[in-house]
Chains A and B, each alone.
Chain A
Amino acid sequence: MAIQTPNGFTLDTSGERVVVDPVTRIEGHMRCEVNVNSDNIITNAVSTGTMWRGLEVILKNRDPRDAWAFVQRICGVCTGTHALTSCRAVEDALGIEIPDNANSIRNIMQLSLEIHDHLVHFYHLHALDWVNPINALKADPRDTSALQKATSPRHPKSSPGYFRDIQNRLKKFVESGQLGPFKNGYWDNPAYLLPPEADLMAVTHYLEALDFQKEIMKTRTIFGGKDPHPNWLVGGVPCPINIDGEGSVGAINMESLNHVRSIINQTIEFVDNVYIPDIIAIGKIYYDAGWHYGGGISGTDALAYGDIPDKPNDFSAKNLMMPRGAIIKGNLNEVHEVDHRDPEQIQEFVPHSWYKYDDESKGLHPWDGVTDPNYELGPKTVGTRTNIKQLDEAAKYSWIKAPRWRGNAMEVGPLSRYLVGYASKHTEFTDQITDTLGALGNAPVSALFTTIGRTAARALEAQWCSYKQRYFLDKMIANIKAGDQTTANTESWDPSTWPKEARGVGFTEAPRGALAHWIRIKDQKIENYQCVVPTTWNGSPRDNEGNIGAFEASLMNTKVERPHEPVEILRTIHSFDPCLACSTHVMGPDGEELAKVKVR
């Protein structure tokens, strides 16, 4: 009955099958099925992307300068990261170099996205996997006050009265019987381990974070005009700098730079005094209780492309402030080079995805990517094609393809970036990791390779990003002081200056992990556009060799308290911050053949 996967997992489908669909508190639509044995241990996991939009075929024959706006709509949560990736891909194809100020502004915008995304993810998508708001009603506000002062002495909101007010508001909310987003939660499940005073502190910060998050993104409104979905520009950024001339009031000037600085300072304060202490406090309670599940392939196979170029237009590992490289088979002594242009490195497989290749035993590099949708269900499916009760994972079972790096299933995201940074002995990351392990009670490095570690890495990264925003604001101001107010390079704006054919790659580290776009331009139009996105890596189904992806691997061998209440499943899946709208839109050059969908 048991199957051994090449990447080291034993899959056993003999136990009871549990289905979670929809998986909520994620971006987009996803389904998860697991088998649970008589000891309530997960012995098989199946993750399915349940939406597909086909954006790249829509991009065909459009103006490459417009592409950023289309692909930005791949995701409104990680809004902007696709747009930035697209600008970089077009600039790479056309050999456009952006000005120094544009690099600083883009970095500030990208960093603010990372921080916002991580913060909202933890408090508003992930917290309810750890925090029980109903249990918070039992807290003595004085205990919460004492806990707050102990975990974060610098946070000003810590009086017993403050927590009592929040508790009263919560109490009245619960007593109304109209629980809104908390309705039908699993509030008596023993998987929730926090004492009431910690639950009350966390619920309070859920509300504080909801109020505060809207401030973080205002840097993007200043530079990009709106948020979500600010504006970008191939060749630089659209916002001009006019520091002291006529019309300065309508451009980036001293007032707007001061505003940006104020937002950056507030962000640093919130992350330092609320987010990080909460993660340590909650993480330690669960870690000390022995809840060490969810590692999957995080400690063995990690991929990061790197991001945040210090100098503009240099995407080499040493110029990227976010780490770049690949770790395979758990060997932290070797960080492999990653080359997006090498056809042997990044390939996508489809034997378990609802797409068709001529030869499905092979993977295809994104330059040569093909996407021919092929929605068909395996013979062991329970239900019908429009009412699926149980999937057959031996056949096709997801709208997500299976990307692999040199044949390996890889995890991407903040934890992978931190692992690559750690293995690269980059002190900014090793210091943060050492401090965190110390705060967890001198935990070993293996503590990172857990659901807790994945969630903690995201918080550490938010902190790193909040300080790097300040670095780039200072850098930009120094550059302006030195006389450079340029924000756009328009030399190649006119398509008549372009070569007849060109191709390029752009990449970023999206909040959820490594993201790259591949573009081919022909006769001034997009000939082909391919995106391989973070959740495609993490949420991938099995490949031709039978390797399971990061989501599925992370659920393996987890003990669930109550098999029919998916608290632990949600906790671990959420620790990746899944983004399904991102992952399930991949489209190839044959896209116009879509009418010929084949269904068994």
Chain B
Amino acid sequence: METFYDVMRRQGITRRSFLKYCSLTAAALGLGPSFAPKIAHAMETKERIPVLWLHGLECTCCSESFIRSAHPLAKDVVLSMISLDYDDTIMAAAGHEAEAIIEEIVTKYKGKYLLAVEGNPPLNEDGMYCIIGGKPFTDQLTYASQHAKAIISWGSCASWGCVQAARPNPTRATPVHKVPGIGNKPIIKVPGCPPIAEVMTAVVTYILTFERFPELDRQGRPKMFYSQRIHDKCYRRPHFDAGQFVEKWDDEGAKKGYCLYKMGCKGPTTYNACSTVRWNGGLSFPIQAGHGCIGCSEDGFWDKGGFYDRLTDIHQFGIEANADEIGVGAATVVGAAAAAHAAVSAVKQARTKGDND
């Protein structure tokens, strides 16, 4: 079997570019430069992997995000790293010729292909709210899942249900892991609406490079990107701790880049890499551009109250805390509890400080 490196060489990629690619990959994964030779070695000894990328009820934002990847480039992923044999958004074939590919790959690469799912299937109306080849999308999904090596649930639709599953979920849109008949395979959730491009390509690259699936948290997300809250690594965090908040849109605090907590920011309860990896080649992320995080990588984020509602109840205000305690709280308590704790102390500080502003 041809190795990954062979394939890249065959694609006309020079050894020098190949090694450069390996060090960029190491950087993208947050690894030190010493890992680059290891990645190079791995790629010289592994085969290319076929990928079936299916689309259910969705908006295609995950694919759109994927093609914006800065490292590696989408071009290099599609032409040189994986064999993207089915993806109805970009494939040349249509109709029967397209459908035939799924059967061919499932038969030829039993247990060896990756199944990537964007969107999710509706279960109401016998699945006919999403029809592919005259049949419900659930048929295509469950069939392709039976012999996959693993399933990647791209984005919040496949991971949690996302917008079409928001109350009252009229079509009974269902995330991949809850679909009846789905193959008993490892499922890697890469949530976000959409996920960050470089996170998507890094998850793929990780699997190819280390020949294993990334370590997942209890909810099935790769720990390397989803184990910390936006708030934990937010560059505006010092303003939160100092009690300096944006009080209304476009006010002095907004212009100075103060904390957006009072404007409804969901950073304190959202696990994602936006405040570290950032978006579109590390250019920015929502908070940096003046809007709070809406929590788009969290399960059921559409139904957790308004995007401009503060996270905590005001009746808890007034409890004493200092910056050190906030730090301890954030590190040891998960989710809303920590946010409440931190917020409480910060608001207290804000009140005190507010007199001076």
Chain A positions within 8 Å of B, measured between CB atoms, are 19-29, 31, 50-55, 57-58, 62-63, 65-66, 69-70, 73-77, 79, 120, 124-125, 128, 165, 168-169, 172-173, 175-176, 178, 180-186, 207, 210-211, 213-214, 217-218, 221-231, 233, 235-242, 245-251, 373, 375, 383, 385-389, 399, 485-488, 490, 493, 566, 570, 581, 587, 591-592, 594, 597, 599
Contacts and interface: CB of A to CB of B under 8 A. Distances in A.
Given A66-B308, A235-B249, 15 more contacts: A29-B88, A53-B122, A53-B171, A53-B173, A55-B164, A63-B307, A75-B59, A77-B61, A120-B67, A173-B79, A178-B85, A225-B288, A228-B194, A238-B289, A250-B256
A57 B171 CA distance: 11
Given A180-B84, A251-B290, A22 B164 contact: no
Considering residues B60, B130, B136, B307, which has the most beta carbons from chain A within 10 angstroms of its beta carbon? B60
B124 A183 contact: no
A181 B10 CA distance: 18
17 contacts: A19-B134, A22-B133, A24-B93, A29-B132, A53-B171, A57-B168, A57-B170, A58-B168, A173-B10, A214-B197, A221-B283, A224-B291, A226-B280, A227-B280, A228-B61, A594-B124, A594-B168
B319 interface: no
A183 B101 contact: yes
Given A22-B132, A24-B91, A29 B55 contact: yes
Contacts of B125: 373, 375, 597, 599
Interface string B235-267: 110000000000011100011111000000000
A301 B173 CA distance: 37
A494 B97 CA distance: 55
B137 to A, nearest CB: 8
A17 to B, nearest CB: 13
B134 A180 contact: no
A385 to B, nearest CB: 7
B65 A228 contact: yes
Interface in B279-330: 279-281, 283-291, 294, 296, 302, 306-308
A223 B279 CA distance: 12
A388 to B, nearest CB: 4
Contacts of A183: 85, 91-93, 101
Contact of B291 (A62, A225, A599): A225
A485 B67 CA distance: 34
Contacts of B350: none
Contacts of B170: 53-54, 57-58, 587, 591, 594
A581 B296 CA distance: 19
A233 B60 contact: no
A237 B286 CA distance: 12
Given A21-B95, A225-B279, A236-B249, A375 B290 contact: no
A182 B248 CA distance: 52
B95 A225 contact: no
Interface stretch (B69-77, B174-182, B211-219): B69-77
A431 B7 CA distance: 49
B147 interface: no
B129 interface: yes
Q: Which of B134, B256, B279, B287 has the most A CB atoms < 10 Å from its CB?
A: B134
**Leading 9 A-B pairs by shortest Cβ distance:** A76-B61, A250-B257, A247-B256, A225-B289, A185-B92, A225-B286, A54-B170, A231-B291, A238-B291
A251 B257 contact: yes
Given A214-B280, A247-B255, A251-B255, A172 B12 contact: yes
B79 A24 contact: no
B16 interface: no
B280 A210 contact: no
A214 B75 CA distance: 12
Contacts of A236: 249-250
- Residue among A168, A227, A239, A242 having the largest count of chain B Cβ atoms under 10 Å: A227
Contacts of B308: 63, 65-66
B249 A375 contact: no
B290 A50 contact: no
Give the bracket for the number of chain B residues in contact with chain A: 35 or more
A386 B126 contact: yes
Contact of B284 (A24, A226, A383, A581): A226
Interface in B25-76: 48, 50, 55, 57-65, 67-70, 73-75
A218 to B, nearest CB: 6
B249 to A, nearest CB: 4
Contacts of B235: 250
B95 to A, nearest CB: 4
Contacts of A230: 289
Given A181-B84, A183-B92, A242-B255, A52 B284 contact: no
Contacts of B289: 221-226, 230-231, 238-239
Contacts of B124: 594, 597
Contacts of B142: none
Contacts of A52: 122, 129-130, 171
A51 B129 contact: yes
Contacts of B232: none
Given A21-B134, A25-B94, A185-B92, A76 B307 contact: no
B11 interface: yes
A587 B7 CA distance: 49
A180 B79 contact: yes
Question: Of residues A52, A222, A490, A493, which shows the largest number of chain B Cβ atoms within 10 Å of its Cβ?
Answer: A52
Contacts of A23: 94-95
A50 B59 contact: no
B306 to A, nearest CB: 4
A570 B88 CA distance: 13
Contacts of B256: 242, 245-247, 250-251
B175 to A, nearest CB: 15
Nearest to A581: B59
Contacts of A29: 55, 88, 130-132, 137
A213 B101 contact: no
Given A55-B164, A73-B163, A183-B85, A217 B57 contact: no
A74 B250 contact: no
Contacts of B194: 76, 228-229
A399 B128 CA distance: 10
A124 B79 CA distance: 14
Contact of B163 (A58, A79, A488): A58
Contacts of A125: 89-90
A231 B266 CA distance: 14
A424 B243 CA distance: 56
Contacts of B169: 58
Contacts of A246: 256
Given A180-B79, A181-B84, A214-B280, A22 B12 contact: no
A128 B60 CA distance: 20
B100 interface: yes
A375 B67 contact: no
B79 A169 contact: yes
A597 to B, nearest CB: 6
Contacts of A184: 92-93, 97-98, 100-101
Given A27-B89, A229-B194, A242-B255, A211 B83 contact: no
Contacts of B249: 233, 235-236, 238, 240, 487-488, 490, 493
A172 B257 CA distance: 51
Given A233-B291, A245-B255, A178 B133 contact: no
A76 B64 contact: yes
Contacts of B75: 207, 210-211
B135 interface: yes
Contacts of A235: 249
